[in-house]
Amino acid sequence: MESNVLLRLPGSFRDPAGSIYISGDRVFRTVSQTAAPQYETAREVLRSLVAQGRLADFEERPVDGFEDAAYLLEHPKISPWTLPYEWSFSLLKEAALFHLDLHLYLLERGFTLSDASAYNVQFIGPRPVFIDHLSIRPYVEGEFWAGHRQFCEQFLNPLLLRAYFDIAANGWYRGELEGIPTAAIAKLLPLRSRLSWRAMTHVILPAYFQQGATSDREVNAALKNRKLPLEGFRGLLRQLFRWIEALRPANISATTWANYASTTTYDPAEAAQKGTFVGEFIAETRPRTVIDLGCNTGDYSSIALERGADTVIGFDFDQQSLDQAFQRAKAGNLNFLPLFLDARNPSPSQGWMQSERLGFSERYSSDAVLALAFEHHLAIAHNVPLDQVVEWIVSLAPTGVIEFVPKSDPTITKMLAFREDIFPNYNEAHFRATLEKRSHTVRQKRISRSGRTLFWYSR
């Protein structure tokens, strides 16, 4: 390992216990001298968590050239690397329950977590995995749960937003980075839910005490000589677990997209043709990873997996489709991770120095891309020039299938029903020409009477 190619991950500056370094495809973590004793104590429990699949694997490596590092750990690279504001309600709920369960497990063995950051959970397919080895440390009798506020803001509050108001938290979460502030949720909660014991415990009272209504004297008085007995600690975790486990989105009547498969403009024979084309594409190109843009509930992602892809990363902006896609992945144990994406505005690089949390194009790429019934949503519904739409899709993978939807198709007729047609060049010939500027067409197939056509490109 050469130190000149080592890159310190910009997001890993908060915890002084260690840092993450990237060298090509390899991931390293330093353990600082001060954190070494707690790491040594936790090593055994860390190993057992790895064996259970709950913690990213680690191997100790010789510490060369890292000042102040007592240990150097190497981890397998996790891909895709997702951020909590790209998770649907289902993914966030899964991560929250996973985090609480992990914490309870650790407390039983005399350990605890030094924080409760949602950014410390990643997904392998639909399965959550913990990635911050150094936030697992010995529990000190009577200590407070330091991560309580962080847990509420990064897990509970965004879930409550959807469960109480049917508001998806993704945009707000992305804007705040650290989750949805408890003070804000406390102002929003309807009276009925305010009076519940759990809302009191995790939202209303913490917000009340936080907002400065409490004087320094009262704070000192309340906290001096104070201990939280282990049973109280576990009680908080269990209460949150039960609460979150029961949360459901407020509105579960199907959205436009969640029943897309049944309301689509295809007849079954046409849908079957599309599936066959995608299946052949996957079987012949043998991609390891596939990005499925506009994955909906995951029909074509499933086909890709059946035909040999290892991993499919799905993207959609419809929350209910994402929730259903996640249920499908979980039930079928598929290596399929459906994530939230508004393609007009993908995750930017942001946070401290604008590099703490990396953007979409820094984190997502694949061997193949599927963009089925997708391009017209950008090109027609949102006026993105067609050649830019094509350029962006082609940039995601060296090969892929793009479905071109012509103006004669009922969905575009509907999109243009109340507006001027400002797309004189939107036609198949122009689409093909823009695609062929960047790649060549391997195969092309018309799959609907309205003229929808699949293009298999390779660049």
Partner 1 sequence: MTRIVAIVVLISSASVTHAHAYLDPGTGSMILQGIIGAIAVAGATVTLYWHRAKAFVRSVLHKSRPE
Using the contact rule CB under 8 A, the part of the chain among 135-143, 160-168, 271-279, 391-399 near partner 1 is 135-143
Is 207 a binding residue for partner 1 by CB under 8 A? The answer is: yes
| CB-nearer residue toward partner 1: 78 or 228 | 228
Binding residue (CB under 8 A) for partner 1 from 231, 331, 420, 422: 231
| CB-nearer residue toward partner 1: 117 or 301 | 117
Which residue do the tokens 């860390």 mark?
46
Is 15 a binding residue for partner 1 by CB under 8 A? The answer is: yes
Site for partner 1 in 296-315 (CB under 8 A): none
3-state secondary structure the chain: CCHHHCEECCCCCCCCCCCEEEECCEEEEEEECCCHHHHHHHHHHHHHHHHCCCECCCEEECCCCCCCEEEEEEECCCCCCCCHHHCCHHHHHHHHHHHHHHHHHHHHCCEEECCCCHHHEEEECCEEEECCHHHEEECCCCCCCCCHHHHHHHHHHHHHHHHHHCCCCHHHHHHHCCCCCHHHHHHHCCHHHHCCHHHHHHHHHHHHHHCCCCCHHHHHHHHCCCCCCHHHHHHHHHHHHHHHHHCCCCCCCCCCCCCHHHHCCCCHHHHHHHHHHHHHHHHHHCCCEEEEECCCCCHHHHHHHHCCCCEEEEEECCHHHHHHHHHHHHHCCCCEEEEECCCCCCCCCECHHHCCECCHHHHCCCCEEEECCCHHHHHCCCCCCHHHHHHHHHHHCCEEEEEECCCCCHHHHHHCCCCCCCCCCCCHHHHHHHHHHHCEEEEEEECCCCCCEEEEEEC
Which residue do the tokens 């892809």 mark?
309
Residues in a beta bridge with 289: 311
Spatial distance between the Cα atoms of 154 and 181, rounded to a whole number of angstroms = 8
Is 143 a binding residue for partner 1 by CB under 8 A? The answer is: yes
* Site map 72..101 versus partner 1, x via CB under 8 A: ------------------------------
| CB-nearer residue toward partner 1: 51 or 146 | 146
| CB-nearer residue toward partner 1: 210 or 259 | 210
| CB-nearer residue toward partner 1: 96 or 293 | 96
CB of 4 to partner 1, least distance (A): 29
CB of 157 to partner 1, least distance (A): 13
Nearest to 328 by CA among 310, 314, 309: 314
CB of 40 to partner 1, least distance (A): 16
Site for partner 1 in 187-206 (CB under 8 A): 201, 205-206
Is 426 a binding residue for partner 1 by CB under 8 A? The answer is: no
| CB-nearer residue toward partner 1: 182 or 320 | 182
Spatial distance between the Cα atoms of 415 and 380, rounded to a whole number of angstroms = 7
Is 103 a binding residue for partner 1 by CB under 8 A? The answer is: no
* Site map 168..187 versus partner 1, x via CB under 8 A: --------------x-----
Is 141 a binding residue for partner 1 by CB under 8 A? The answer is: yes
Binding residue (CB under 8 A) for partner 1 from 7, 16, 51, 344: 16
Give the dihedral sign, CA 168/171/177/178: negative
Is 222 a binding residue for partner 1 by CB under 8 A? The answer is: yes
Is 106 a binding residue for partner 1 by CB under 8 A? The answer is: no
Is 145 a binding residue for partner 1 by CB under 8 A? The answer is: yes
Binding residue (CB under 8 A) for partner 1 from 5, 195, 221, 252: 221
Using the contact rule CB under 8 A, the part of the chain among 72-80, 107-115, 289-297, 365-373 near partner 1 is 107-115
Is 144 a binding residue for partner 1 by CB under 8 A? The answer is: yes
Is 17 a binding residue for partner 1 by CB under 8 A? The answer is: yes
Is 241 a binding residue for partner 1 by CB under 8 A? The answer is: no
Binding residue (CB under 8 A) for partner 1 from 114, 259, 444, 453: 114
Number of residues that bind partner 1 (CB under 8 A): 47
Interface residues with partner 1 (CB under 8 A)? 14-17, 112, 114-115, 137, 139-150, 152, 182, 201, 205-211, 213-214, 218-219, 221-229, 231-232, 235-236
